[in-house]
Structure 1
Amino acid sequence: MFFSVAVVPAAIIPAAPAFAAQASDSQVSDSQVQAETLPSYQQDAELIKQTFESQLYTLPAFKMGHYGLRMYRQTQDHKYEAAVWADMARVASRLNYFATEVHTPEQIKAYSAERIARYDKKKDVRSDLRYEETIDQPEYLYLGVDLLGSMARANEYGLKHREDEKLRQVIRRYDFKAFATDHGLIRAWAAQLANQVYWLQQLGEQDVVAEFIEAFKATYPDSQDEQLTDQQFMNKIYGMTHIIFAAAEYYQHSVNEADFQWIYDYYRDNVEQILARSKEDVLAEVGINFLLAGLEDDPVVEKMRKAIQQSIDREAGMVPAVNGSTDLEDGEHRNVLAIMLLDWKGAREVPTINRDPEMFSSIPYGLVRQ
């Protein structure tokens, strides 16, 4: 059998450079196809949700409530109601204990001494710093870290403790400005102090927000960023994110960018440094800060979303710790932030006893309507 061979004119044979360009175009197309086959941000948020929600009610009440309340505020899905009730029960238990067992100066002193001793037993840098900076004023742990947080959470639900006035009298014994403007405490507790000054304002007690922000800026001048350890750099960013979170009453309200222009400008000017020096918790919080201001199209949001997406351990279905741990209890905070960043659904003032009365048909003992 004979085969004929067609002769191709040389003029129509592609030159080598054109062939190379063609190959390059093919490679670009392959890369584009690969990128298009990656999960969407929303799909990755769902992956993390499935991991945590399959075991949500095995977590301690604080972690369960932290997750459930945030997801309810995002979605208003009734499946989170039991976790929200568990959070209310935890708050009621704490306030019941403080109202009956820890309210005199002597009781507070003993309680605070026991609390601060726990930090002395831990050996990480942050715990050492917190012990050193708080040992001379341990009552800060009782007032700021414990009492205020529980009272503010009850307030967000439209509730208060049945001995609310007794607990408010405890708050009034202290000038919180002394804590809020202490540079050492800011270096140890920046994010917590940001929460606390806004909680005081929310409760209609002391208003030291402006004084705290002034002291915070003096503690962490931008010109000295390069001199900070990574731990202190993250404490600075963490403090900034919580100023906005606390002002928004934790995903209940949007914020106005202009009211916090110094923070948003800093994020934009230092985004690469933040990415290089911060853990995933902090990166997610920076991104959510922009979402709370309605700035979803800001390039910083996309950078933070990509960083979080790339950090996901797909076999474990979650964002692991820096050391690779995929422990659900330790990772709850980090991962609920990742979910919100990747699939943001807006800020809503829920649940409250007035807007969602069906969720408050059985109020934990000790809490009453405001």
Structure 2
Amino acid sequence: MQRKKAPSLLTLAILGLAQVTFSYDAFAKTADSQTQASTAVIALQATRYQEDAELIKKTFEEQLYTLNAETAGHYGLRMYRQTLNPKYSAAVWSDMARVASTLNNIAATVHTKEQAKKYGEDKLETYKEKNKPRSQLRYQVTKDKPEYLFLGIDLLSTMARANEYGLKHQDDSHLRGLLGQFDFKPYATDPDMIRAWAAQLANQVYWLRQLGEQDVVDDFVAVLQKTYPDSKDKELSDQQFSNKIYGLTHLIFAASEYYQHPVDPKEFAWIYTYFDKNIDQILTRTKNDVIAEVGISYLLAGKLNSSTLADTQATIAHAIDMDKNMIPSTDGDYELQKGEHRNVLAIMLLHWQGVHNAPTVNNHPPVFKNVPYGLVEK
């Protein structure tokens, strides 16, 4: 049974207060009765949300290692960073193995711009074969610059992840030399590329900064704002509106090095102001994973009393199918492999446990007892 509609905050308050063993009259005897009642309701909501998160966790963790290594690693790394629980170490190792395998292959096979382009062309074929509008848009926009798929999707992402672990590839100087052969600014400041890859580019410009390479974050943000002016939102398709929101959330996520550090709400005030003004549109025009990302953006900034955060939590909690104990896709699919992304985000949104700089080789050595071949301490 899937929850059909999130109740209003007033309804939540009434339902919550009906479950506790005190009366309004008791509160009325104190000057701060409304504050106490409000606090009680918030506590009840938080408990309910945590229970919902645990239901989803149980569903996925009972079958975690039936998923492919990339998906299991995606889930396990996020849960490790949230909980610091060593039970996720094996999933983190899966992620390290993916990183090592990708970098080992690149180090051995890519030495020139031409080889980088050929690598990207091979990867581009997977987009050509997909019929979804987003995939076709990405194919059309990227077909004359296939090296972007090599640089952004594979090389930068895996180098940055190794860096977060406190590791690097043994041929790091060669890999950095490959990065240095390309100017990333033309990709990051191309409006058509942003329409196809907003979230990915947001990640990549921050990864470049993280690695001490090119810094084109401000250039990207300036063109993103021009590509998607707020006054033109109603003219966007739902797919393009979602792409815009994804780009905004990933600026915040990437700045936090993916849930490892808090972000300064002042630095991203323009994004939070936009979310606050447009939350109704976000809730009705985007999918659950986008909605969850908006909510997590507030958690990363410590904006815990935000009504926008509350709206995202209520919406996500009521998207859970209570028979399957997970959030299905918009077309009713319950496959764990495909649904891991939206569901792990839901877990984090509903039971946020703070930011942790983890795992790192220096601070969590048991996780790194057997580092996959090719990776070394940086």
Deviation for aligned residue 1:233: 0.2
**Given residue 125 of structure 1, which amino acid in structure 2 is its aligned partner?**
P
- 1:289-319 C-alpha deviation (Å, 9 max, x unpaired): 0000001110011100010011101111101
The answer for the alignment partner of 2:287 in structure 1 is 279
The answer for the alignment partner of 1:297 in structure 2 is 305
Residue 210 (structure 2) pairs with residue 168 (structure 1): no
Quick check: which has more Rg, 1 or 2?
Answer: 1
Check 1:285–1:31 CA distance in 2 against 1; reply closer, same or farther (3 A cut): closer
**Given residue 213 of structure 2, which amino acid in structure 1 is its aligned partner?**
E
- The structure 1 residue matched to 2:257, chosen from 234, 249, 264, is 249
The answer for the alignment partner of 1:198 in structure 2 is 206
Deviation for aligned residue 1:184: 0.5
The answer for the alignment partner of 2:77 in structure 1 is 69
Deviation for aligned residue 1:33: 3.9
Between the aligned partners of 2:310 and 2:15, the Cα distance in structure 1 is 22
Check 1:204–1:309 CA distance in 2 against 1; reply closer, same or farther (3 A cut): same
**Given residue 43 of structure 1, which amino acid in structure 2 is its aligned partner?**
E
- The structure 2 residue matched to 1:156, chosen from 145, 161, 164, is 164
The answer for the alignment partner of 2:229 in structure 1 is 221
Between the aligned partners of 2:148 and 2:185, the Cα distance in structure 1 is 11
- The structure 2 residue matched to 1:331, chosen from 330, 336, 339, is 339
Residue 154 (structure 2) pairs with residue 146 (structure 1): yes
Between the aligned partners of 1:327 and 1:58, the Cα distance in structure 2 is 12
> What SS does the corresponding residue of 2:267 show, helix, strand or coil?
helix
Between the aligned partners of 1:31 and 1:354, the Cα distance in structure 2 is 45
Structure 2 portions without partners, runs of 5+? 1-12, 21-40
**Given residue 54 of structure 1, which amino acid in structure 2 is its aligned partner?**
E
Structure 1 portions without partners, runs of 5+? 1-27
**Given residue 191 of structure 2, which amino acid in structure 1 is its aligned partner?**
H
Q: Superposed, which structure 2 residues align to 1:88-237 within 5 Å?
A: 88-237=96-245
Between the aligned partners of 1:266 and 1:156, the Cα distance in structure 2 is 30
The answer for the alignment partner of 1:18 in structure 2 is none
The answer for the alignment partner of 2:34 in structure 1 is none
The answer for the alignment partner of 1:82 in structure 2 is 90
Output the TM-score relative to the length of structure 1: 0.90
Task: Give aligned-pair identity as a percent.
Answer: 57
- 1:151-205 C-alpha deviation (Å, 9 max, x unpaired): 0000000000000000000000111001000100100000000000000000000
Output the TM-score relative to the length of structure 2: 0.88
Deviation for aligned residue 1:356: 0.8
**Given residue 255 of structure 1, which amino acid in structure 2 is its aligned partner?**
V
Name the stretch that deviates more: 283-292 or 114-123.
114-123
Deviation for aligned residue 1:29: 6.9
Check 1:29–1:160 CA distance in 2 against 1; reply closer, same or farther (3 A cut): closer
Between the aligned partners of 1:131 and 1:296, the Cα distance in structure 2 is 40
Between the aligned partners of 1:29 and 1:184, the Cα distance in structure 2 is 48
The answer for the alignment partner of 2:330 in structure 1 is 322
Residue 273 (structure 2) pairs with residue 265 (structure 1): yes
Deviation for aligned residue 1:104: 2.2
**Given residue 229 of structure 2, which amino acid in structure 1 is its aligned partner?**
P
The answer for the alignment partner of 1:353 in structure 2 is 361
The answer for the alignment partner of 2:5 in structure 1 is none
Say if 2:141 and 2:196, in contact at 8 Å, map to a contact too.
yes
Check 1:57–1:258 CA distance in 2 against 1; reply closer, same or farther (3 A cut): same
> What SS does the corresponding residue of 1:368 show, helix, strand or coil?
strand
Deviation for aligned residue 1:337: 0.2
Say if 2:328 and 2:334, in contact at 8 Å, map to a contact too.
yes
**Given residue 230 of structure 1, which amino acid in structure 2 is its aligned partner?**
D
**Given residue 257 of structure 1, which amino acid in structure 2 is its aligned partner?**
P
**Given residue 74 of structure 2, which amino acid in structure 1 is its aligned partner?**
H
Between the aligned partners of 1:287 and 1:302, the Cα distance in structure 2 is 8
Between the aligned partners of 1:94 and 1:116, the Cα distance in structure 2 is 17
Say if 2:113 and 2:181, in contact at 8 Å, map to a contact too.
no
Deviation for aligned residue 1:30: 7.5
Between the aligned partners of 1:351 and 1:31, the Cα distance in structure 2 is 38
**Given residue 250 of structure 1, which amino acid in structure 2 is its aligned partner?**
Y
> What SS does the corresponding residue of 1:144 show, helix, strand or coil?
helix
**Given residue 239 of structure 1, which amino acid in structure 2 is its aligned partner?**
G
Say if 2:118 and 2:147, in contact at 8 Å, map to a contact too.
no
Between the aligned partners of 1:272 and 1:109, the Cα distance in structure 2 is 42
Name the stretch that deviates more: 39-48 or 188-197.
39-48
The number of residue pairs the alignment matches comes to: 343
The answer for the alignment partner of 1:11 in structure 2 is none
Deviation for aligned residue 1:120: 1.2
Say if 2:71 and 2:337, in contact at 8 Å, map to a contact too.
yes
Deviation for aligned residue 1:106: 2.6
Between the aligned partners of 2:369 and 2:326, the Cα distance in structure 1 is 35
